């Protein structure tokens, strides 16, 4: 069985409202503010599991931590940037590891030592 893609839009707004314990109008407000971006198919909004998780995160920030929506926007943007930088770092680490292995292979074949 294939793994579920958490970015696949599958949920209608009513289901998301139940999953997040939020009113549908609140979810629509967050969409208007740009905090969430569901996929639109015809007139329907479809949300992914990642969208549901983001809405839950928004709820935690606003209700549990008292952050206003402007603060939520800044925090979510910073978390997104952190995720991107972390992915870039991981990719660079993989490339460095591959390069190191190739250098070691070359040195083993042609003589020499890796520092």
Q: What is the mean pLDDT of the chain?
A: 93
Q: Taking 80 as the threshold, does the pLDDT of residue 114 lie above it?
A: no
The average pLDDT across 59-88 equals 96
Query: What are 12-37's pLDDT values in tens digits?
Result: 999 999 999 999 999 999 999 999 99
Question: DSSP assignment of 54-74, as one string?
Answer: HHHHHHIIIIIS---HHHHHH
Could you say which DSSP state residue 84 is in?
A: H
Q: Taking 90 as the threshold, does the pLDDT of residue 43 lie above it?
A: no
Per-residue CA distances from 93 to 6, 32, 82, 89, 105 (Å): 25, 38, 16, 6, 18
- Overall size of the chain counted in residues: 115
Question: DSSP assignment of 4-22, as one string?
Answer: PPTTS--B-HHHHHHHHT-
Confidence at 11, pLDDT banded by 50, 70, 90: very high
Contact call for residues 49 and 6 (beta carbons, < 8 A): yes
pTM: 0.77
């Amino acid at each position: 069985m294939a793994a579920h893609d958490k970015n696949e839009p599958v949920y209608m707004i009513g289901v998301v409202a139940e999953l997040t314990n939020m009113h549908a109008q609140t979810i629509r407000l967050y969409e208007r503010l740009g905090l969430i971006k569901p996929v639109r198919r015809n007139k329907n909004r479809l949300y992914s599991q990642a969208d549901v998780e983001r809405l839950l995160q928004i709820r935690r920030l606003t209700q549990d931590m008292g952050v206003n929506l402007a603060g939520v926007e800044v925090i979510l943007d910073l978390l997104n940037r952190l995720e991107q930088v972390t992915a870039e770092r991981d990719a660079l680490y993989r490339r460095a590891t591959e390069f190191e292995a190739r250098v070691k292979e070359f040195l083993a074949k042609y003589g020499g030592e890796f520092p």
